[in-house]
C-alpha cells in the first residue's frame, strides 16, 4: 500500500468524522494563556454547568437550571440533574460530554505538574468530577450488569416548531418546555466512551480511593454493556433527537480506546489483550492509513487510542504477545504525525496557516486543537524515552517539529491568523463578540424571556452582554474568513468537547511546571509486564 510520503507502509495488518453541520512565536503559554482564556475568568465548562451550581462556579450570569431533568423517570431517585450543556443550546448530549471528560482527565494525568504550577489542579479536578458524577447517574452504577443507559437530556428534532432546546432561545435558567430523556438499550460507542471517561478519571482521583473505585467499577459495568454482542446497534440509530447532531460512524475505535483506559485503570490484562486484538484493529481500519481516521474527534478515537497504546510500548516494553500489535500502532501513530506536516499534502492548509482536518467544512478548530494535543503528547513521550525524533518514510524529523506544529496551530487559534482574530473569547484585543450561546446572549436582568421572546436577543446585532470567556468558537472557513454573527453557529458556536481539546493542548505546551509528562502515574495500577516466551515452532516434518 502506498503512502503520501513515498514507499510502502511497513506495518502489519490489514469511521470518518462527521459533525453537526502578526506571528506570536514567543507567545506566553503559562498562566496568562490558560487562566486568562478560561479558568479564572470563566472556563467554558463552568458556563455550561447544569443543575444546582457549585459555589465556586464563578459565572455571575449563570444560575441553577435543569433541576427537573429526568424527574419523570421512575427508576431515578434524583433524576438526571447535573452534567454539562453541550454548546450554545441547552441539550445534554452524553456522547461528546463523556469524550470531553476523557480528554480533560488525560491532560491531568500527563501534566499534573503543569496544572499545579498554574494553580488550576484542584479546579480542573472539580470540573472533571462534575462530569463523572453526572455520568454515574446515567446508568445503574451499583449493578454489575445493565440493560440500558440514559443517552441524552433535552434536544430537538430538525424542523420542529414545538418549544424545545433549538426552537426556543432562552437562558437555561428559564426553560419551561418539556425536556425529553433519551434511553439507549444498545450503546456500543456511548458506553465505551463513558467507560473511558470514568476509567481515566479514576486515575485522576487515585487520592480518593472510594471515589476512584466507584468510577472504576462503573467503567467496567458500562464497558461490558458496550461489548455485549446483542447490543451493537449504534446508540443514535433512528433517533431523530440524536442522529442528526451526534451520529456515531462506528464503535470499534471506542472499544480500543475504552479498553486501553480500563487497562491503565485496573491493570487487568484482559483489557490490554482486547485493545491489542488484531480483530479490533481490523474493524477500526487502523492500518489502512485513511486520512480521516487520523483526525481525533468526539466520533473518532482511533489516533488517540493508538497513541495511548504506543505509550505502553515506549515505557514498559511488554514484548510478546503484545509487541507485534504495539509496534504496528506505534508505526501508524508516527505516520499520523507525518500526515499533520504541511510538506506531505495529506490535508489541505489555509493560506493563513491552519490545517484543514475536516475537508474545508465548518467548525474545524476542534479538530485542530485535538491534533495539536496529540502531536505535543507524542513529542513528550519520545523525549521522555530519550528518542530524538521519528521517521516519515526516509526522512527523520526531530521532536521539535511536532512541538512547532502544535504551537503554530494554537497560535493561529489565539490570534496569529490573517484576521488577527483570537477564536478564544476573552483572549487578546480582538475576539468574537456575538457567540452563538443562549445564556451569553441574553442580559442578566430580572426579565424572564419566553421561548420566542428570546429571539430578539438571538437576532440582535449588538454584542453579547455576557462574555463567555475561555470559549473557543467553531472558527473560520477554509479561506481564513470569519463571520462574527450570532445566528451563524458554524462560525460562532463553542462546544464542550472542542474546548476540552483546547485546554489539553494549551496545558501540554505551557512551560509552567517544567517540560515533559508524568511518566509513571498512569501506570500506578499496572502490574509488571514480563515478556512471555513465544510458542515453539511446530516440529519439522520431512
pLDDT, tens digit (0-9, with 9 covering 90-100), for 205-233: 999 999 999 999 999 999 999 999 999 99
- Position 542 scores a pLDDT of 82
Give the C-alpha distances (Å, rounded to integers) separating 212 from 133, 145, 272. Answer: 11, 19, 20
Task: Indicate if the pLDDT at residue 12 is higher than 90.
Answer: no
Would you say 489 and 88 are in contact if contact means Cβ atoms under 8 Å apart?
A: yes
Chain centroid to CA 530: how far? 33
Query: What distance in Å separates the CA atoms of residue 206 and residue 211, rounded to the nearest whole number?
Result: 8
The one catalytic residue in 46, 164, 477, 493 is 493
Determine whether 189 is an active site residue.
no
Determine whether 122 is an active site residue.
no
Query: What distance in Å separates the CA atoms of residue 439 and residue 435, rounded to the nearest whole number?
Result: 10
Would you say 482 and 420 are in contact if contact means Cβ atoms under 8 Å apart?
A: no
The one catalytic residue in 436, 437, 477, 478 is 436
For 387-398, write each residue's pLDDT tens digit. 999 999 999 999
449: its cell numbers? 424571556
Mean pLDDT, the chain, rounded, equals: 91
pTM of the predicted protein model: 0.92
406: its cell numbers? 502544535
Would you say 518 and 112 are in contact if contact means Cβ atoms under 8 Å apart?
A: yes
- Position 531 scores a pLDDT of 78
For 458-487, write each residue's pLDDT tens digit. 999 999 999 999 999 999 999 999 999 999
For 119-175, write each residue's pLDDT tens digit. 999 999 999 999 999 999 999 999 999 999 999 999 999 888 999 999 999 999 999
519 SS3 class: coil
Determine whether 493 is an active site residue.
yes
- Over range 43-49, report the average pLDDT: 84
- Percent of the chain residues past pLDDT 70, beyond the cut: 92
For residue 182, list its beta bridge partners: 152
Chain centroid to CA 514: how far? 25
The one catalytic residue in 64, 404, 480, 484 is 484
Amino acid at each position: 500500500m502506498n503512502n503520501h510520503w513515498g514507499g510502502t507502509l511497513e506495518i502489519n495488518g490489514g469511521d470518518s468524522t462527521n459533525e453537526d453541520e502578526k506571528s506570536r512565536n514567543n507567545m506566553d503559554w503559562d498562566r496568562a494563556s490558560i487562566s486568562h482564556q478560561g479558568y479564572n475568568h470563566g472556563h467554558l465548562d463552568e458556563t455550561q454547568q447544569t443543575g444546582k451550581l457549585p459555589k465556586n462556579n464563578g459565572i455571575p450570569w449563570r444560575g441553577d437550571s435543569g433541576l427537573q431533568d429526568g424527574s419523570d423517570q421512575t427508576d431515578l431517585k434524583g433524576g438526571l440533574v447535573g452534567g454539562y450543556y453541550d454548546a450554545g443550546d441547552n441539550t445534554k448530549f452524553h456522547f461528546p460530554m463523556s469524550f470531553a471528560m476523557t480528554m480533560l482527565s488525560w491532560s491531568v494525568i500527563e501534566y499534573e505538574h503543569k496544572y499545579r504550577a498554574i494553580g488550576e489542579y484542584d479546579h480542573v479536578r472539580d470540573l472533571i468530577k462534575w462530569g463523572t458524577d453526572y455520568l454515574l447517574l446515567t446508568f445503574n452504577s451499583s449493578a454489575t450488569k445493565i440493560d440500558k443507559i440514559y443517552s441524552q437530556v433535552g434536544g430537538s428534532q430538525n424542523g420542529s416548531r414545538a418549544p424545545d432546546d433549538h426552537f426556543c432561545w432562552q437562558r437555561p435558567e428559564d426553560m419551561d418546555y418539556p425536556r425529553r430523556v433519551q434511553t439507549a438499550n444498545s450503546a456500543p460507542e456511548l458506553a465505551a466512551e463513558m467507560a473511558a471517561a470514568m476509567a481515566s478519571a479514576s486515575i485522576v482521583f487515585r487520592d480518593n480511593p472510594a471515589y476512584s473505585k466507584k468510577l472504576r467499577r462503573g467503567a467496567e459495568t458500562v464497558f461490558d454493556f458496550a461489548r455485549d454482542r446483542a447490543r451493537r446497534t449504534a446508540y443514535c440509530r433512528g433517533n431523530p433527537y440524536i442522529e442528526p447532531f451526534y451520529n456515531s460512524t462506528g464503535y470499534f475505535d471506542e472499544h480500543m480506546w475504552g479498553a486501553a483506559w480500563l487497562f491503565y485503570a485496573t491493570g487487568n490484562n484482559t483489557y490490554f489483550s482486547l485493545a491489542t486484538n488484531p480483530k479490533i484493529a481490523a474493524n477500526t481500519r487502523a492500518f489502512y492509513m485513511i486520512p480521516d481516521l487520523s483526525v481525533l474527534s468526539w466520533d473518532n478515537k482511533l489516533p488517540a487510542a493508538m497513541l495511548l497504546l504506543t505509550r505502553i510500548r515506549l515505557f514498559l516494553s511488554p514484548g510478546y504477545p503484545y509487541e507485534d500489535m504495539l509496534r504496528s500502532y506505534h508505526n501508524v501513530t508516527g505516520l499520523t504525525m507525518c500526515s499533520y506536516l504541511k510538506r506531505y499534502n495529506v490535508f489541505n492548509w489555509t493560506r493563513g496557516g491552519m490545517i484543514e482536518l475536516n475537508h474545508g467544512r465548518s467548525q474545524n478548530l476542534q479538530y485542530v486543537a485535538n491534533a495539536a494535543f496529540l502531536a505535543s503528547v507524542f513529542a513528550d513521550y519520545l523525549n521522555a524515552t530519550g528518542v530524538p525524533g521519528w521517521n516519515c518514510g526516509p526522512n527523520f524529523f526531530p521532536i521539535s517539529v511536532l512541538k512547532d506544529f502544535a504551537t503554530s496551530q494554537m497560535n493561529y487559534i489565539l490570534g496569529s491568523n490573517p484576521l488577527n482574530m483570537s477564536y478564544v473569547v476573552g483572549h487578546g484585543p480582538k475576539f468574537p463578540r456575538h457567540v452563538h450561546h443562549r445564556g451569553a446572549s441574553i442580559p442578566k436582568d430580572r426579565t424572564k424571556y419566553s421561548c420566542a421572546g428570546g429571539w430578539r436577543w438571538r437576532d440582535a446585532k449588538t454584542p453579547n452582554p455576557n462574555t463567555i470567556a475561555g470559549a473557543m468558537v467553531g472558527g473560520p472557513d477554509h479561506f481564513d474568513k470569519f463571520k462574527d454573527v450570532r445566528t451563524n453557529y458554524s462560525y460562532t458556536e463553542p462546544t464542550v468537547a472542542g474546548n476540552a481539546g483546547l485546554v489539553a493542548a494549551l496545558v501540554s505546551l505551557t512551560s509552567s511546571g517544567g517540560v515533559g509528562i508524568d511518566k509513571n502515574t498512569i501506570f500506578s495500577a499496572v502490574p509488571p509486564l514480563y515478556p512471555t516466551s513465544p510458542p515453539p515452532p511446530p516440529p519439522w516434518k520431512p
